[in-house]
Structure 1
């Protein structure tokens, strides 16, 4: 709200009358005519109404007999001055408060006022840390003459004294002794505030380069230090990137305060194993950066293993035992002096370590760069493949172990690229997960599988859902809608999930499983035995079927331990009312042992390779295909 102009003299009406606001004089009409000695117009200029409310009382205290007005910008302020000039107010003081508004608006106001009134006094309020505002005002004004700055937080007494000094200067046209004394006080105050400003700037600079959680360097400080080391051309630098594995589960289950405590403890532990002169920084979240000089391969191996050991220690966090691991990527300087290239290489090595199983380190090499380029090619081709029909569906039979009767089929996707030929699913599915394209590809797979189930009258079809797909808020409803579109009874659908899909968001997993189970969809836990929380979630969720991972089946004829594990899982499933499917069966000997171990259903090349729906042979698999 813009305040009305208030003249404390004889009644006058301006061309732009406005209603009075609380705490200001109501209007010129009715003012005390005894104030005719007033010679100065003081205008408070600010686009912020709260600034006007704060400053007007100070102006009245400093100059009770002078004329006061308030304006939103320079144009309005100059308009008031032109009208006040007819009353004999030949001098003007403009009190500007543009804090929190923007430097450009402030400098525009200063420029307009200075160009129109060279002799007017400008009193400008700025933030103590806003040195750009001071510099910009001086630049547009061209001189500090008749320009005074006050820095916030402001002392009311200092404002009052400064206004009186400026008014005195306006009245006499020269610096009186009193004005000089007041100015000296102002200068002393400004010197103190300048010193405070420098202190605040130092604090701001420190905060810009340091992490608030650990107190060490942040990403900005880390990159600056690395750049400086490379520029000095000292010993060869090694960049190590560290990322905690499954840290999100700590935040989700124990809260962010617990996650912060874990980060602090791990950071402290890593600092304790680094050599002298190393740089350690928290780059954000659960990611850390390290720079060390001139390490041999043996020294690098020892250091990375120490960091892995520190990260994987069991710690008490928020009253709970918490244990995570870390993945590490290493880049050696070599011939490059570019911090950007070193960081890129370390990042690539880090993600390679995660893909290879986590809780390990990987050193960047040229082969990894080629792999990255290949991955980028796949990433760029996925969407084109989906839109141009390059994906195909194949189906592998799931059979009754003793009779070989076909009970259903697992739906599997294949990609035949016109540029690169057949690309294995274990190469493009993880990339689709990372990029988010798995959502669109997964929808396509579900629709195709259900259409084929209807078209070829398959007993049932088993559809894999990735973690990212399953944690969609409406995945259950989507699957049921696709089933309705294809006219497939939900009881002819089985959904295969990994343990990760469940533990990443237990609450959403519970909801989605409930939607599917209520409609009659069966749920199978895939790759059972390769995770770390299977028994917990078997008990918590209504799982229909356990799929024993191929890694156990591969060794079942050679290792007694694998046979014991399979038999134990089958017994566990039976006690919980669940069925068991053993995957990856390739020989008759494996089939025999699996039957003896209690596995009721089998799947693998021994019974049939993945085949297009139109080429499937219904009934029994009497002639094993090896």
Structure 2
């Protein structure tokens, strides 16, 4: 998050446009010092030598003229950063690294505390990046401990403190966080980490003009394997496949667990022919020898979809999508086990794949392979799980899952989405009946919403156990609501009569008017995650999300923020008064919610 110490609009204590009120710096546990004279006296040579030896640097910030005074050891402490213009507060603020969650500006100018005469303590950690014209240099991470003192108007007038270099500690914490993002079964990177490697590879490829390949490897018939040998043996095969893939690629290549029975591989400096050769070699090494498990040797086979970057995709998302499309083709029959993506392949196969997806939906409904995955939605204040969103999962006969992005557009065009909605509701009600402490939200498509008989079916489904309705939330997308306002109002009213709560999903995507939002009497609004995920870096998104929250609060609606993926975003949203948080930072969708209801906070 790019945070600057001083706003260009002045130093009157007002928050710069788009800046989140994040003055939540932790005060250091030190006694209050006496108010120092101004200007701040620089330490003597001996003091500078001592401070340098322990990686610390004293400073004084005179906020009115925006002047920064430093101890004599700033070059020894900050290295190349000290050669930049750091004698003014706003210039120093320009050096705060985007990865930083807070800055000195946040701690001082946005503090909610008052100076009662002894100053107000603060302690924050942020990174400093030297300007590019000074040459390459790593980010210097510092712990900034100090106090600010108020002027006659009660607003910060000056501050002083000490910077302590904590780069090694920060790197250790970063490595520990990385360890938490490793797949526990296979020891491989997870999909999010793999996407970061993809992003870096794309940047390198742009500079070197060398292509690289992305492969998606799918273990075949996992569903049948689990059913025949048991889930423990299935996990052993997955772990064994991970080892075999890792052992048969180069040290410069990257292997990750993509999802379930799928693995993602990044083959560095690899063209089309080399990719084809590598894929066939991997198919062979998996097929040639069974995997040793506690249930005995188990043979396995794989299918692979591949894409060459950057020719066939210039973003991690595009590469994942194209590799998935190629893998879908590879899985369609007894033909090629490896398929390389091409634009012509995608065009020719789109219609056939849509028909196959529709067939898979029908067979999954018949064979009871429609399942639910539950993603936790946590209370922003306590961190405890408030309820779960029930997410649709459709399994193929081999145990693989059809991605919702592929499934739902086809289901809507084929007229199958109402059948899926009905099955999802049935499964959700079954789980509610089985687990007395569970609360669940269920999505409702536009086709279902416009069905005049849907309220009656919902009433009949809940009639068997009236207590269920108090723990059920129906989610309606904002864009669907706008298509037929009166029908939406009628269905919401029907849910209310049953005692079922109603949430507006993707709030902000359809730009609902104030009047419509008020008249529809929702209980909850869920802010579209497309606006949430960038609030740490985008002033426009911060302004828009804050406006949505204020509007919802004015109407006494509970607010859920979707796609919360890091602590910095969560802290911003808590400060703005969001009621609930949902996203990968608090837990991914699982087929069974944790019994203890724990969530990451």
The structure whose Rg is larger is: 1
Give the TM-score taking structure 2 as reference length: 0.41
Higher relative contact order (CA 8 A, sep 6+): 2
Name the structure with the higher helix share.
Answer: 1
